[in-house]
Amino acid sequence: MNQYNFPTVLFYGADALKDLAPAIQKRGLKSLLLVTDPGLVQIGLGDSVKSTLTSSGLNIEIFDNVHPNPIEEDVTTGVEMYKSGGFDGIIALGGGSAMDVAKTIRFMAVHEPPLAQYDDALGGDAKIVNPMPPLFAIPTTAGTGSEVGRSSVITLKETGRKTIFFHPGLMPDIAVLDPKLTVGLPPHITAATGMDAFTHCAEAYLVDSFHPMADALAVEGMKMIVANLPKVLDEPGNLDARGKMLLAASMGATAFQKGLGMIHSMAHPLSAEYNIHHGLANALLIKFGLEFTIEKAIIVQNQELLYKLEKIGGIISNNTLSDIRLIPKLLGTFINRIGIILGLNEQGIQIEQTSVLATLAFEDSCHATHPFPVSIEDFKAVYNRAL
């Protein structure tokens, strides 16, 4: 038996934000905590969104204690504010960090600490049993797709490790995909988050499980990103391209209900240990992770995997690919085209550090759904290639 889930309500299009307040009020909600990050408050977007929502009569208070790679303290402080403020709902505004903190506040507001006991790797989802407050998501980046996801990732204080929390109830009630809210995103963040979305699509597509609907979303998501990410960077005010990037990000996150792969397992330690933006970490690794996967697929002659890799190559090359071994080079060219310089050494990573990173990557659960088993030595070899 296979179970497939595509239930998220999406409000899509320019000015879609204006439809959120009436939808919230229809549910009888009056007072909501707006979880965002200090950067969005600094540029005025937090207050702008608050103003749009309060103009309809809602009470909105801003919580912006969110780190770029969220930590447990962000959640603890947010839960305290939620409980003391008498709120009846939560709004997440921002990228994956704000979404992750908002989702985790959502369940911790009605469950007892410590947070660590809800670790998905330890079966913690079974302990998330209480009804949770409503959550509405407003992404300002086209990357994580967390607005349609059932999980959050928080670095625990005790372990210093990124930890996944999963439950179907963490999925936002409504996600608002308004391209106007992404216009002010700096180019380097636009590029990094776009590559995060592409990595979600590519890794989900390569997962060896029967899920044709998710595969279709992943393929179309990759096509939309290849067509629109350079366009967004060249034409920052292009709302059509920005809207399609938002959709592609949501599609990628929907597709990875199938799972992810080795690239994400390698990206997580880079963020946790060196505070490298998650999307950038994926961008720095995907060329080399795919190169390794292609070599392995050719050696074992995995026909299904070879077919999927050829499909990815066709998308990147606009159907001019002659040999899947050219995919890494084509992908490297695309990544450079959007302004990302490859090389972990550019981020201060040295060869002496790859052994520890490889161990941490192996301990990460994402590679469990890679098309084939990946060893610590494999991870180390790919990190070394990415230097």
What pLDDT, on a 0 to 100 scale, did the predictor assign at position 339? Answer: 97
pTM of the model: 0.93
- Would you place residue 365 in the very low, low, confident or very high pLDDT band (cuts 50, 70, 90)? confident
- 202-386 CATH pick, 3.40.50.1820, 1.20.1090.10, 3.40.50.2300, 3.20.20.70: 1.20.1090.10
Distance CA 309, CA 23 (A): 42
What pLDDT, on a 0 to 100 scale, did the predictor assign at position 60? Answer: 97
| 279 neighbors 143 (Cβ within 8 angstroms) | yes
Q: Please determine, for residue 12, whether its predicted confidence score (pLDDT) is greater than 90.
A: yes
- Which CATH architecture best describes the domain 9-182? 3-Layer(aba) Sandwich (3.40)
Which residue has 């439950």 as its token pair?
A: 167
- Would you place residue 7 in the very low, low, confident or very high pLDDT band (cuts 50, 70, 90)? confident
Distance CA 304, CA 313 (A): 14
Residues 71-111: pLDDT tens digits?
999 999 999 999 999 999 999 999 989 999 999 999 999 99
Helix axes 354-363, 376-386, angle to 10 degrees: 130
Residues 212-250: pLDDT tens digits?
999 999 999 999 999 999 999 999 999 999 999 999 999
- Would you place residue 161 in the very low, low, confident or very high pLDDT band (cuts 50, 70, 90)? confident
What pLDDT, on a 0 to 100 scale, did the predictor assign at position 241? Answer: 98
Calculate mean pLDDT across residues 277-301.
96
Distance CA 245, CA 228 (A): 7
- Would you place residue 188 in the very low, low, confident or very high pLDDT band (cuts 50, 70, 90)? very high
Q: Please determine, for residue 158, whether its predicted confidence score (pLDDT) is greater than 90.
A: no
What pLDDT, on a 0 to 100 scale, did the predictor assign at position 162? Answer: 81
DSSP letters of 106-139? HHHTTSPSPGGGG-GGGTGGGG--S----EEEEE
What pLDDT, on a 0 to 100 scale, did the predictor assign at position 4? Answer: 72
- Would you place residue 46 in the very low, low, confident or very high pLDDT band (cuts 50, 70, 90)? very high
Sketch the domain layout of the chain as residue ranges.
9-182, 202-386
| 37 neighbors 98 (Cβ within 8 angstroms) | yes
Q: Please determine, for residue 2, whether its predicted confidence score (pLDDT) is greater than 80.
A: no
Residues 102-147: pLDDT tens digits?
999 999 999 999 999 999 989 999 999 999 999 999 999 999 999 9
| 306 neighbors 378 (Cβ within 8 angstroms) | no
End-to-end CA separation in angstroms for the chain? 43
Calculate mean pLDDT across residues 159-172.
90
Q: Is the sign of the CA dihedral 290, 240, 250, 5 positive or negative?
A: negative
What pLDDT, on a 0 to 100 scale, did the predictor assign at position 282? Answer: 98
Name, in order, each residue with C-beta under 8 angstroms of 109's C-beta and a sequence gap of 6 or more. Answer: 79, 82, 83, 132, 133
| 170 neighbors 152 (Cβ within 8 angstroms) | yes
Q: Using a pLDDT cut of 90, give the percent of the chain over it.
A: 89
Alpha helices (H) in the chain, listed in sequence order: 20-26, 38-42, 45-54, 72-85, 96-108, 187-206, 212-234, 239-255, 262-274, 278-300, 303-317, 327-337, 354-363, 376-386
Distance CA 127, CA 134 (A): 19
The rounded mean pLDDT for the chain is: 95
